[in-house]
Protein backbone atom coordinates (compact mmCIF):
# COMPACT_ATOMS: atom_id res chain seq x y z
CA UNK A 1 0.00 0.00 0.00
CA UNK A 2 1.39 3.46 -0.81
CA UNK A 3 2.61 5.38 2.29
CA UNK A 4 5.14 7.80 3.74
CA UNK A 5 7.32 7.66 6.87
CA UNK A 6 9.83 9.78 8.78
CA UNK A 7 12.16 7.04 9.86
CA UNK A 8 13.28 7.19 13.50
CA UNK A 9 11.30 10.31 14.41
CA UNK A 10 8.21 11.10 16.42
CA UNK A 11 6.68 14.54 16.73
CA UNK A 12 8.13 15.15 20.20
CA UNK A 13 11.66 14.84 18.82
CA UNK A 14 11.44 17.70 16.36
CA UNK A 15 12.92 21.09 17.07
CA UNK A 16 11.96 24.46 15.65
CA UNK A 17 13.88 24.44 12.37
CA UNK A 18 13.59 23.46 8.68
CA UNK A 19 13.99 19.83 7.59
CA UNK A 20 14.92 18.77 4.03
CA UNK A 21 12.84 15.70 3.17
CA UNK A 22 12.54 13.31 0.31
CA UNK A 23 9.00 12.12 -0.23
CA UNK A 24 8.79 8.69 -1.83
CA UNK A 25 5.75 6.66 -2.79
CA UNK A 26 6.32 2.95 -3.37
CA UNK A 27 4.39 -0.10 -4.40
CA UNK A 28 6.25 -3.00 -3.01
CA UNK A 29 9.81 -2.46 -4.15
CA UNK A 30 8.85 -0.21 -7.06
CA UNK A 31 9.14 3.58 -6.71
CA UNK A 32 6.02 5.20 -8.07
CA UNK A 33 6.88 8.83 -7.15
CA UNK A 34 9.75 10.64 -5.46
CA UNK A 35 10.43 14.34 -4.82
CA UNK A 36 12.32 16.63 -2.40
CA UNK A 37 10.42 18.88 0.08
CA UNK A 38 11.05 21.23 2.99
CA UNK A 39 9.32 20.67 6.36
CA UNK A 40 9.21 23.77 8.60
CA UNK A 41 8.64 23.16 12.32
CA UNK A 42 7.81 26.17 14.54
CA UNK A 43 7.07 26.48 18.25
CA UNK A 44 4.04 28.30 19.61
CA UNK A 45 4.63 31.84 20.82
CA UNK A 46 5.45 31.87 24.56
CA UNK A 47 2.89 34.62 25.13
CA UNK A 48 0.15 32.30 23.83
CA UNK A 49 0.82 29.51 26.31
CA UNK A 50 2.45 31.18 29.34
CA UNK A 51 1.49 34.21 31.37
CA UNK A 52 2.11 35.68 34.81
CA UNK A 53 -0.61 35.10 37.39
CA UNK A 54 -2.57 38.39 37.33
CA UNK A 55 -3.33 38.05 41.06
CA UNK A 56 0.36 38.67 41.77
CA UNK A 57 1.20 41.19 39.05
CA UNK A 58 1.56 44.94 39.38
CA UNK A 59 2.65 47.14 36.48
CA UNK A 60 3.60 44.00 34.55
CA UNK A 61 6.00 42.78 37.25
CA UNK A 62 5.51 39.56 39.24
CA UNK A 63 5.21 40.45 42.94
CA UNK A 64 6.78 37.74 45.11
CA UNK A 65 6.04 37.74 48.84
CA UNK A 66 7.00 34.25 49.97
CA UNK A 67 7.68 33.74 53.68
CA UNK A 68 11.39 33.98 54.55
CA UNK A 69 13.47 31.10 55.83
CA UNK A 70 16.28 32.43 57.97
CA UNK A 71 17.77 35.39 56.14
CA UNK A 72 16.47 34.45 52.72
CA UNK A 73 13.31 34.35 50.65
CA UNK A 74 12.88 31.34 48.35
CA UNK A 75 10.26 30.98 45.63
CA UNK A 76 9.70 28.26 43.00
CA UNK A 77 7.51 30.37 40.63
CA UNK A 78 4.84 27.63 40.62
CA UNK A 79 2.03 29.98 41.65
CA UNK A 80 3.37 32.88 39.59
CA UNK A 81 3.25 31.40 36.07
CA UNK A 82 0.08 30.05 34.46
CA UNK A 83 0.13 27.58 31.56
CA UNK A 84 -2.57 27.50 28.89
CA UNK A 85 -4.86 24.50 29.37
CA UNK A 86 -3.76 22.86 26.12
CA UNK A 87 -0.14 22.84 27.28
CA UNK A 88 -0.42 21.81 30.92
CA UNK A 89 0.98 18.37 30.13
CA UNK A 90 3.05 19.34 27.08
CA UNK A 91 5.58 21.44 28.96
CA UNK A 92 8.40 19.87 30.93
CA UNK A 93 10.00 21.23 34.10
CA UNK A 94 11.39 24.72 33.52
CA UNK A 95 14.86 26.05 34.14
CA UNK A 96 15.25 29.63 35.35
CA UNK A 97 18.05 32.06 34.60
CA UNK A 98 18.83 35.39 36.27
CA UNK A 99 19.30 37.45 33.12
CA UNK A 100 20.77 40.47 34.91
CA UNK A 101 23.48 38.28 36.39
CA UNK A 102 24.01 36.40 33.10
CA UNK A 103 24.45 39.66 31.20
CA UNK A 104 26.88 40.91 33.85
CA UNK A 105 28.98 37.74 33.52
CA UNK A 106 28.75 37.65 29.71
CA UNK A 107 30.02 41.24 29.56
CA UNK A 108 33.07 40.39 31.65
CA UNK A 109 31.88 41.74 35.00
CA UNK A 110 34.10 41.26 38.04
CA UNK A 111 32.18 38.54 39.88
CA UNK A 112 34.71 38.45 42.71
CA UNK A 113 34.79 42.09 43.76
CA UNK A 114 32.07 44.12 42.10
CA UNK A 115 29.21 45.47 44.25
CA UNK A 116 27.12 46.08 41.15
CA UNK A 117 23.44 45.19 41.63
CA UNK A 118 23.68 42.58 38.87
CA UNK A 119 26.60 40.75 40.52
CA UNK A 120 24.54 38.19 42.45
CA UNK A 121 22.81 35.18 40.97
CA UNK A 122 19.21 35.26 42.22
CA UNK A 123 18.58 31.69 41.02
CA UNK A 124 19.81 28.85 43.22
CA UNK A 125 18.84 25.18 42.90
CA UNK A 126 16.28 26.09 40.27
CA UNK A 127 14.45 28.61 42.47
CA UNK A 128 14.51 32.29 43.28
CA UNK A 129 16.82 32.72 46.28
CA UNK A 130 17.33 36.25 47.61
CA UNK A 131 18.21 38.12 50.79
CA UNK A 132 15.65 39.52 53.17
CA UNK A 133 15.71 43.29 53.53
CA UNK A 134 18.98 44.47 55.09
CA UNK A 135 18.77 47.56 57.31
CA UNK A 136 21.33 50.30 56.90
CA UNK A 137 22.42 53.06 54.55
CA UNK A 138 25.65 51.44 53.33
CA UNK A 139 24.34 48.05 52.18
CA UNK A 140 26.15 46.95 48.96
CA UNK A 141 23.80 47.15 45.98
CA UNK A 142 24.28 43.49 45.09
CA UNK A 143 23.15 42.38 48.57
CA UNK A 144 19.97 44.47 48.83
CA UNK A 145 17.50 42.40 46.85
CA UNK A 146 13.99 43.27 48.04
CA UNK A 147 12.03 46.03 46.31
CA UNK A 148 14.33 45.84 43.27
CA UNK A 149 13.09 44.62 39.87
CA UNK A 150 15.01 41.67 38.35
CA UNK A 151 14.89 40.13 34.87
CA UNK A 152 14.27 36.37 34.85
CA UNK A 153 14.10 33.88 31.95
CA UNK A 154 12.14 30.64 32.16
CA UNK A 155 12.74 27.90 29.59
CA UNK A 156 10.26 25.05 29.24
CA UNK A 157 11.00 21.93 27.11
CA UNK A 158 8.16 21.28 24.67
CA UNK A 159 6.88 17.70 24.91
CA UNK A 160 9.76 17.15 27.37
CA UNK A 161 12.28 17.47 24.54
CA UNK A 162 15.33 19.09 26.14
CA UNK A 163 16.53 20.09 22.67
CA UNK A 164 13.41 22.15 21.98
CA UNK A 165 12.63 24.76 24.61
CA UNK A 166 10.29 27.70 24.68
CA UNK A 167 11.56 30.90 26.32
CA UNK A 168 9.45 33.09 28.61
CA UNK A 169 11.02 36.33 29.86
CA UNK A 170 9.52 38.32 32.72
CA UNK A 171 10.40 40.61 35.60
CA UNK A 172 10.10 39.91 39.32
CA UNK A 173 10.25 41.92 42.54
CA UNK A 174 10.33 40.54 46.10
CA UNK A 175 8.26 42.36 48.72
CA UNK A 176 6.88 42.02 52.23
CA UNK A 177 3.26 40.97 52.72
CA UNK A 178 2.98 43.49 55.57
CA UNK A 179 4.90 46.58 54.49
CA UNK A 180 3.32 49.27 52.34
CA UNK A 181 4.78 52.47 50.89
CA UNK A 182 1.51 54.05 52.05
CA UNK A 183 1.08 52.69 55.60
CA UNK A 184 -2.25 54.44 56.17
CA UNK A 185 -3.80 52.20 53.53
CA UNK A 186 -3.06 49.00 55.47
CA UNK A 187 -3.33 50.15 59.11
CA UNK A 188 -6.12 52.54 60.03
CA UNK A 189 -7.20 54.24 63.25
CA UNK A 190 -10.47 55.27 64.83
CA UNK A 191 -9.74 58.96 65.38
CA UNK A 192 -12.50 59.25 68.00
CA UNK A 193 -10.44 56.90 70.16
CA UNK A 194 -7.32 59.04 69.84
CA UNK A 195 -8.67 61.87 72.00
CA UNK A 196 -7.61 62.43 75.63
CA UNK A 197 -8.67 65.03 78.20
CA UNK A 198 -6.30 66.73 80.63
CA UNK A 199 -6.90 65.25 84.09
CA UNK A 200 -9.92 63.22 83.01
CA UNK A 201 -10.92 61.40 86.21
CA UNK A 202 -13.13 58.87 84.43
CA UNK A 203 -10.32 57.46 82.30
CA UNK A 204 -10.75 60.03 79.55
CA UNK A 205 -7.15 61.11 80.21
CA UNK A 206 -5.94 57.85 78.68
CA UNK A 207 -5.78 56.52 75.12
CA UNK A 208 -5.09 52.83 74.47
CA UNK A 209 -3.54 52.59 71.01
CA UNK A 210 -4.43 48.90 70.78
CA UNK A 211 -8.10 49.87 71.00
CA UNK A 212 -7.67 52.81 68.64
CA UNK A 213 -6.39 50.68 65.72
CA UNK A 214 -9.43 50.09 63.55
CA UNK A 215 -7.94 47.61 61.07
CA UNK A 216 -4.70 45.99 59.96
CA UNK A 217 -4.66 44.20 56.59
CA UNK A 218 -1.99 42.56 54.46
CA UNK A 219 -0.53 44.66 51.67
CA UNK A 220 0.49 41.84 49.32
CA UNK A 221 0.32 38.13 48.61
CA UNK A 222 -2.53 35.64 48.62
CA UNK A 223 -3.81 37.25 51.85
CA UNK A 224 -3.83 40.76 50.40
CA UNK A 225 -6.63 42.80 51.99
CA UNK A 226 -7.28 40.25 54.74
CA UNK A 227 -7.14 41.29 58.39
CA UNK A 228 -4.45 40.00 60.72
CA UNK A 229 -3.67 40.16 64.44
CA UNK A 230 -1.31 43.07 64.93
CA UNK A 231 -0.96 42.94 68.71
CA UNK A 232 -0.22 40.03 71.01
CA UNK A 233 -2.56 39.64 73.98
CA UNK A 234 -1.22 38.73 77.38
CA UNK A 235 -3.08 36.24 79.54
CA UNK A 236 -4.80 37.95 82.45
CA UNK A 237 -7.97 38.78 84.31
CA UNK A 238 -11.02 40.43 82.82
CA UNK A 239 -12.34 42.93 85.36
CA UNK A 240 -15.49 45.00 85.62
CA UNK A 241 -17.14 47.47 87.96
CA UNK A 242 -19.34 45.83 90.60
CA UNK A 243 -22.59 47.27 91.96
CA UNK A 244 -24.39 46.50 95.23
CA UNK A 245 -27.68 46.01 93.46
CA UNK A 246 -29.19 44.18 96.44
CA UNK A 247 -28.58 46.92 99.03
CA UNK A 248 -31.20 49.67 98.99
CA UNK A 249 -30.30 51.25 102.35
CA UNK A 250 -30.11 55.06 102.06
CA UNK A 251 -31.40 54.86 98.48
CA UNK A 252 -35.09 55.27 99.30
CA UNK A 253 -37.49 57.84 100.71
CA UNK A 254 -40.82 57.24 102.43
CA UNK A 255 -43.98 58.78 101.01
CA UNK A 256 -47.22 57.95 102.86
CA UNK A 257 -45.51 54.93 104.46
CA UNK A 258 -44.34 53.61 101.05
CA UNK A 259 -40.63 53.50 100.23
CA UNK A 260 -39.68 54.88 96.82
CA UNK A 261 -36.29 54.50 95.12
CA UNK A 262 -34.21 57.63 94.53
CA UNK A 263 -32.03 58.40 91.53
CA UNK A 264 -28.49 59.80 91.66
CA UNK A 265 -29.95 63.28 92.27
CA UNK A 266 -32.22 62.05 95.10
CA UNK A 267 -35.31 62.43 92.94
CA UNK A 268 -38.11 59.92 92.46
CA UNK A 269 -37.86 57.70 89.38
CA UNK A 270 -40.90 57.81 87.11
CA UNK A 271 -42.18 54.49 85.77
CA UNK A 272 -42.52 53.96 82.04
CA UNK A 273 -46.11 53.01 81.19
CA UNK A 274 -44.86 50.03 79.16
CA UNK A 275 -43.26 48.53 82.30
CA UNK A 276 -46.27 48.83 84.62
CA UNK A 277 -48.00 45.62 83.56
CA UNK A 278 -44.76 43.66 84.12
CA UNK A 279 -44.56 45.15 87.62
CA UNK A 280 -48.13 44.10 88.44
CA UNK A 281 -49.99 47.41 88.29
CA UNK A 282 -53.75 47.31 87.69
CA UNK A 283 -55.43 48.21 84.44
CA UNK A 284 -56.91 51.31 86.09
CA UNK A 285 -53.44 52.51 87.11
CA UNK A 286 -52.03 51.86 83.65
CA UNK A 287 -54.90 53.78 82.04
CA UNK A 288 -54.40 56.70 84.43
CA UNK A 289 -50.70 56.81 83.59
CA UNK A 290 -51.28 56.46 79.86
CA UNK A 291 -53.81 59.31 79.77
CA UNK A 292 -51.59 61.53 81.90
CA UNK A 293 -54.09 61.61 84.70
CA UNK A 294 -51.55 60.33 87.21
CA UNK A 295 -47.84 59.61 87.43
CA UNK A 296 -46.36 56.52 89.07
CA UNK A 297 -42.88 56.16 90.54
CA UNK A 298 -40.55 53.26 91.24
CA UNK A 299 -41.23 51.81 94.65
CA UNK A 300 -38.63 49.86 96.58
CA UNK A 301 -40.90 46.81 96.17
CA UNK A 302 -40.96 47.38 92.38
CA UNK A 303 -37.19 47.57 92.26
CA UNK A 304 -36.71 44.43 94.36
CA UNK A 305 -39.05 42.56 92.01
CA UNK A 306 -36.86 43.60 89.12
CA UNK A 307 -33.69 42.66 91.02
CA UNK A 308 -35.00 39.24 92.08
CA UNK A 309 -35.71 38.42 88.42
CA UNK A 310 -32.03 38.74 87.46
CA UNK A 311 -29.79 38.32 90.51
CA UNK A 312 -29.21 34.59 90.01
CA UNK A 313 -28.53 34.80 86.29
CA UNK A 314 -25.29 33.48 84.78
CA UNK A 315 -24.32 36.84 83.31
CA UNK A 316 -23.41 38.18 86.77
CA UNK A 317 -20.17 37.51 88.66
CA UNK A 318 -20.69 37.89 92.41
CA UNK A 319 -18.10 39.25 94.83
CA UNK A 320 -19.73 39.58 98.24
CA UNK A 321 -22.56 42.06 97.84
CA UNK A 322 -21.29 43.31 94.49
CA UNK A 323 -22.44 42.13 91.07
CA UNK A 324 -20.45 42.68 87.88
CA UNK A 325 -21.61 41.91 84.36
CA UNK A 326 -19.67 39.07 82.71
CA UNK A 327 -21.20 39.18 79.25
CA UNK A 328 -22.98 42.34 78.14
CA UNK A 329 -23.97 40.82 74.81
CA UNK A 330 -25.73 37.89 76.47
CA UNK A 331 -27.37 40.12 79.06
CA UNK A 332 -28.79 42.49 76.49
CA UNK A 333 -30.70 39.58 74.94
CA UNK A 334 -32.49 38.89 78.23
CA UNK A 335 -35.88 40.62 78.72
CA UNK A 336 -35.66 40.57 82.54
CA UNK A 337 -32.25 42.22 82.41
CA UNK A 338 -33.53 44.88 80.01
CA UNK A 339 -36.29 45.85 82.45
CA UNK A 340 -33.93 45.76 85.41
CA UNK A 341 -31.03 47.74 83.98
CA UNK A 342 -33.29 50.53 82.69
CA UNK A 343 -33.98 51.50 86.31
CA UNK A 344 -30.81 50.26 88.03
CA UNK A 345 -28.62 52.63 86.00
CA UNK A 346 -30.55 55.58 87.43
CA UNK A 347 -29.75 54.63 91.03
CA UNK A 348 -26.45 55.44 92.77
CA UNK A 349 -25.52 52.05 94.20
CA UNK A 350 -22.35 51.37 96.14
CA UNK A 351 -19.58 50.25 93.80
CA UNK A 352 -16.44 48.13 93.85
CA UNK A 353 -13.80 48.31 91.15
CA UNK A 354 -12.02 45.47 89.38
CA UNK A 355 -14.21 42.48 90.10
CA UNK A 356 -12.76 39.55 88.15
CA UNK A 357 -15.39 38.33 85.69
CA UNK A 358 -13.20 36.12 83.50
CA UNK A 359 -9.73 35.45 82.19
CA UNK A 360 -8.04 35.83 78.84
CA UNK A 361 -5.62 33.41 77.23
CA UNK A 362 -2.38 34.61 75.71
CA UNK A 363 -2.80 35.21 72.01
CA UNK A 364 0.22 35.88 69.81
CA UNK A 365 0.32 38.39 67.00
CA UNK A 366 0.37 37.06 63.44
CA UNK A 367 3.61 35.16 62.82
CA UNK A 368 4.53 37.66 60.11
CA UNK A 369 4.82 40.43 62.71
CA UNK A 370 8.10 40.68 64.65
CA UNK A 371 7.45 43.76 66.77
CA UNK A 372 5.17 46.75 67.26
CA UNK A 373 6.22 49.92 69.07
CA UNK A 374 4.87 53.44 69.59
CA UNK A 375 6.92 56.57 69.08
CA UNK A 376 6.35 60.26 69.71
CA UNK A 377 7.80 61.94 66.61
CA UNK A 378 9.05 64.98 68.55
CA UNK A 379 9.67 63.69 72.08
CA UNK A 380 10.40 67.12 73.60
CA UNK A 381 7.19 68.58 72.21
CA UNK A 382 5.12 65.51 73.14
CA UNK A 383 6.42 65.70 76.72
CA UNK A 384 4.33 68.86 77.19
CA UNK A 385 1.22 66.70 76.93
CA UNK A 386 2.08 63.07 77.72
CA UNK A 387 2.80 62.03 81.31
CA UNK A 388 4.45 58.67 80.49
CA UNK A 389 6.49 60.02 77.57
CA UNK A 390 9.40 57.60 78.19
CA UNK A 391 7.18 54.70 77.11
CA UNK A 392 7.01 56.10 73.59
CA UNK A 393 10.53 56.26 72.26
CA UNK A 394 9.78 53.63 69.60
CA UNK A 395 12.07 50.97 71.14
CA UNK A 396 9.66 49.00 73.38
CA UNK A 397 8.03 45.99 71.74
CA UNK A 398 4.38 45.78 72.72
CA UNK A 399 4.21 42.19 71.51
CA UNK A 400 6.95 41.17 73.93
CA UNK A 401 4.95 42.99 76.63
CA UNK A 402 7.87 45.37 77.15
CA UNK A 403 6.05 48.53 76.22
CA UNK A 404 2.88 50.36 77.14
CA UNK A 405 0.07 50.87 74.67
CA UNK A 406 -1.78 53.32 76.96
CA UNK A 407 -0.93 57.00 76.59
CA UNK A 408 -1.70 59.02 79.72
CA UNK A 409 -1.93 62.79 79.31
CA UNK A 410 -1.04 65.29 82.02
CA UNK A 411 -3.45 66.54 84.66
CA UNK A 412 -3.39 70.07 83.31
CA UNK A 413 -2.04 71.91 80.31
CA UNK A 414 1.25 73.74 80.52
CA UNK A 415 1.53 77.48 80.16
CA UNK A 416 1.50 78.60 76.55
CA UNK A 417 -0.14 75.39 75.30
CA UNK A 418 -3.39 75.53 73.36
CA UNK A 419 -6.54 74.10 74.96
CA UNK A 420 -6.78 71.68 72.04
CA UNK A 421 -3.53 70.34 70.64
CA UNK A 422 -2.38 67.46 68.44
CA UNK A 423 0.72 65.35 68.91
CA UNK A 424 2.32 63.50 65.98
CA UNK A 425 2.87 59.82 66.80
CA UNK A 426 3.96 56.70 64.93
CA UNK A 427 3.14 53.03 65.17
CA UNK A 428 6.34 51.19 64.20
CA UNK A 429 5.69 47.74 62.72
CA UNK A 430 8.57 45.39 61.90
CA UNK A 431 7.90 42.19 59.95
CA UNK A 432 9.71 38.92 59.24
CA UNK A 433 11.02 40.29 55.93
CA UNK A 434 12.95 42.75 58.14
CA UNK A 435 11.02 45.70 56.73
CA UNK A 436 9.93 48.43 59.14
CA UNK A 437 6.78 50.43 58.52
CA UNK A 438 6.09 53.76 60.22
CA UNK A 439 2.35 54.35 60.48
CA UNK A 440 1.50 57.96 61.38
CA UNK A 441 -1.36 58.98 63.65
CA UNK A 442 -2.28 62.04 65.72
CA UNK A 443 -3.14 62.18 69.41
CA UNK A 444 -5.58 64.97 70.26
CA UNK A 445 -5.38 66.48 73.76
CA UNK A 446 -8.21 68.69 75.03
CA UNK A 447 -9.35 70.44 78.20
CA UNK A 448 -12.90 69.07 77.88
CA UNK A 449 -14.56 66.08 76.22
Residue boundaries of the structural domains of the chain: 11-40, 50-174, 183-232+366-446, 242-360
Spatial contact of 252 and 260, defined as CB atoms under 8 Å apart: yes
pLDDT value, residue 3: 41
Q: Which residues of the chain have pLDDT under 70?
A: 1-17, 40-41, 449
pLDDT value, residue 25: 87
pLDDT value, residue 4: 44
pLDDT value, residue 414: 86
For the stretch 240-285, pLDDT in tens is 999 999 999 999 999 999 999 999 999 999 999 999 999 999 999 9
pLDDT value, residue 101: 98
CA separation for the pair 407, 200 (Å, rounded): 13
CA separation for the pair 337, 323 (Å, rounded): 13
pLDDT value, residue 27: 86
pLDDT value, residue 381: 96
CATH architecture of 183-232+366-446: Sandwich (2.60)
pLDDT value, residue 41: 66
pLDDT value, residue 16: 64
Spatial contact of 146 and 131, defined as CB atoms under 8 Å apart: yes
Give 364's contacts (C-beta < 8 A, 6+ positions apart): 229, 232, 399
pLDDT value, residue 5: 46
Amino acid sequence: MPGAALDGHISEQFTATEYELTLTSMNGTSVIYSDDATLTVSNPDAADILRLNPAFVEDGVLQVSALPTGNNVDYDFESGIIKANAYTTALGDPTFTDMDYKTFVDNGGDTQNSKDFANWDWIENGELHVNKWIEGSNVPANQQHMYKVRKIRAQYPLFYNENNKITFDFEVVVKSQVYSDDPTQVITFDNDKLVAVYGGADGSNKVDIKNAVKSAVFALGSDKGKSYTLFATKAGDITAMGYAYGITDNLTTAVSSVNYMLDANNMLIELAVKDMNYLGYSGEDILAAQTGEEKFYLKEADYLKLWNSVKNQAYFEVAGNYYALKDAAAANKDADYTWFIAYATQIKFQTQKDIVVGTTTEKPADNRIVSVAIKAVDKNYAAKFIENINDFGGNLNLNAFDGNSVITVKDQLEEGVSETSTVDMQLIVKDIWNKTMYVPFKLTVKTTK
